[in-house]
Structure 1
């Protein structure tokens, strides 16, 4: 059994995440993970039991970190509409920094494994639903505060924004001209029924 104190678990998860993110779950081998983490196979198995167990922990780690970041981003302004706009601005910056077209780990995983592994599909779906719920809450706040129309369907609007995120993330794997992202984002945000002041 590996002595877990010999390495930083968080560091190992981050290194493993990068491999899974670039390569995908199925194509990632134990050899790839050993090379990336600098752990011996026995230590890797001793700490995480299997490639699948390691991947599940990577997903949890990624989700917790991302949801914290999204929550902080959404709370940067008292204006719900401004918060959503800021989120999409940050998303475009993240995509522009993705010079190798990795896309989104969660979206990639869902597309790869939706029909292969119920537990992984459930974890990823719950993560994406949490993001959608952030949008719903902010849109409902915007509706109640008069930023968007009083009869706005916040649930459908939140789903529309999530569809946009999916599209942007999948598109980013083809690495189109970066100006395309800001154009799509502008159209997405223009669909919000903002009350003119």
Structure 2
């Protein structure tokens, strides 16, 4: 049998991320990962120590490749709900390009599949959701700084819940316009809430 070519750790992580994102953690055997990454078991264990460690490494790579390019704008000092709307649009467009129904969000998927039974994955999910909440809170503060802080914090939390629900819905629908309209309507509800007398 010909020897498989050496693969960099980053390339290996990228290929593993694609596989886990589409198939989940529990449905992915080591044989599946060997096949989808083109690496040997020895290479996988050498780079990560095992399947679980490889999965955890994919979380940071997911932030780098998928989350940050769309969400960093929400974290800018002058961000408002306009940047939140742009974040949703970028990710919905990406989902359409991949093909709907699609893989959803790696983190939202892992929140239901793995996190309830695994403290390390739970921590990764919490860190992601905390990042989203802080970004949304930043945008809300800039949008309407005179709203009581506890109100804005509650709305930022609601935006996190909505976001996770939106990406989960993208695993079930072929209709990108439905996702787009849902995001627009939800943001309009938030705007109405913070501008009400």
Give TM class, smaller chain: 0.7 to 0.9
Say whether residues 1:150 and 2:151 are aligned partners: no
Q: Distance in 1 between matches of 2:120 and 2:131?
A: 17
**Alpha-carbon deviation of 1:67?**
4.7
Aligned to 1:131: 132
Say whether residues 1:159 and 2:160 are aligned partners: no
Q: Distance in 1 between matches of 2:76 and 2:45?
A: 41
How large is the RMSD of aligned CA atoms in angstroms?
2.2
Aligned to 1:115, the other structure's residue is in SS state helix
Task: Single out whichever of 184-193 and 73-82 deviates more from structure 2.
Answer: 73-82
Q: Which has the higher helix share?
A: 2
Change (3 A) 1:72 1:122: closer
Structure 1 segments unaligned to the other structure (5+ residues): 1-5
Structure 2 segments unaligned to the other structure (5+ residues): 1-5
Q: Deviations over 1:145-187 (max 9, x none)?
A: xxxx634721111112112111111111112322211221121
Say whether residues 1:112 and 2:110 are aligned partners: no
Q: How many residues align?
A: 187
Contact preservation (8 Å) 2:96, 2:176? yes
Aligned to 1:90: 90
**Alpha-carbon deviation of 1:75?**
5.9
TM-score under structure 2 normalisation? 0.85
